[in-house]
Amino acid sequence: MDEGSDQGQSAEDRAATGKVILFAAATLLLASAAFAQTPGSEVPGPITGSGTTAAGVVPLAEAQPIARLYVDPPLAVPLARGVVVLQYRAENIRIVPVFGSAATGVSPRIGHLHVSVDDLPWVWADASGVPVIIQNLPPGPHRVSVELADANHQILDHRPIEFLVPDVGQQLRPARAGSH
């Protein structure tokens, strides 16, 4: 009889052999799944309402370096067309769109920019990580304040940038009826 040939086995023997192989495979599968599980006592954090263990937040072991903001003067070529492009670099902080007090204790530190123009009372937040672009400013001197803020809007650093928008025949937007 050849090895691997089941011609000498009865149908009952072949069925019994198949059951043994199926049982062994199921046992191995269940055993490997059990070893892959981590006991709840080994995972830090509270038990959630669903009965799973949430990973805990590890407090910062040491103070993070001071976050710094560097803003270049407006790019000359776009400014000559009346468009202000401010490139910036932030150190010891990542610019991302995450906000709130829970995000202030993570490492590396995360934050965003606050931008204002000509000391006007409104400010916008920018978390894009790309240069700040401002269009349609009237010709003349302007001041843009770029502030580096943490996720809870606390100012960490700031840079005022002053520049002159040339008169290149900009078409200013007319005021809309009912706007202030």
pLDDT along the chain (180 residues), means of 10: 57 71 58 46 47 50 86 95 95 92 84 96 95 93 97 95 88 62
pLDDT score recorded for residue 58: 46
pLDDT score recorded for residue 115: 98
- Token reading at 147: 């502030």
pLDDT score recorded for residue 75: 96
pTM of the model: 0.61
Cis peptide before 78 (omega within 30 of 0): no
Q: Which of 84, 80, 60 is closest to 134 using CA atoms?
A: 84
pLDDT score recorded for residue 8: 65
pLDDT score recorded for residue 129: 93
pLDDT score recorded for residue 13: 76
* 3-class SS string, 119-174: CCCCCEEECCCCCEEECCCCCEEEEEEEEEEECCCCEEEEEEEEEEECCCCCCCCC
Distance of alpha carbon 174 from alpha carbon 116, whole angstroms: 21
pLDDT score recorded for residue 33: 47
